[in-house]
Amino acid sequence: MTIAPTISTARLTLRQPEAGDFPAYAGYCASDRARFVGGPFDAVKAFEKLAAMAGHWVLRGFGRYIIEHKGAPVGHVGPLALESGQDPEMTWTLWNETSEGKGIAKEASAAVLDHLLQDAQWAGLISRVDAQNTPSRRLAESLGATLTDEAAPSWMPTAVTYRFLKVGV
């Protein structure tokens, strides 16, 4: 099955990245919120990262969705595969603190996981989370992920790895 270019929930639209997302994304990249992914980043690096997010859809046939809430981009969520032959990584990020505490990240992540594991029949995904990122660790666990003993990758040495599996696998 192919990966849906858009997923809708009761409150959210999850869609592929667009040029109009750049101002909100650049704001996130320049903030301390980007610390768990190697940031903060300047506008040039932010553009490069957003372009990579958009290009991932072209090169892999799937990618991270922009989370749109009330018509505005507020984060991104979805699979990332930097290396072929490895399990894709499930990611989620809210770009500003005003989006926190509303269940947006959980709703978006659950919708994407349901689509990938049920509709698209993926066997599973991993999620690498900085060990100090308690909110993301809680989210992974609330979504049914299991903490593994897999070693952290060299590009994120402080990460712990969670695994999401298709129900019944």
Give all domains of the chain, ordered by start, each with its CATH number: 8-165 (3.40.630.30)
Q: CB burial class (10 A; 0-12, 13-18, 19+) of residue 96?
A: middle
Per-residue pLDDT of the chain (169 residues; tens, 9 = 90+): 589 999 999 999 999 999 999 999 999 999 999 998 889 999 999 999 999 999 999 999 999 999 999 999 999 999 999 888 888 999 999 999 999 999 999 999 999 999 999 999 999 999 999 999 999 999 999 999 999 999 888 888 999 999 998 754 4
Long-range contacts of 91-94 (CB under 8 A, 24+ apart): 91/64, 91/127, 92/136, 92/139, 93/28, 93/33, 93/37, 94/33, 94/67
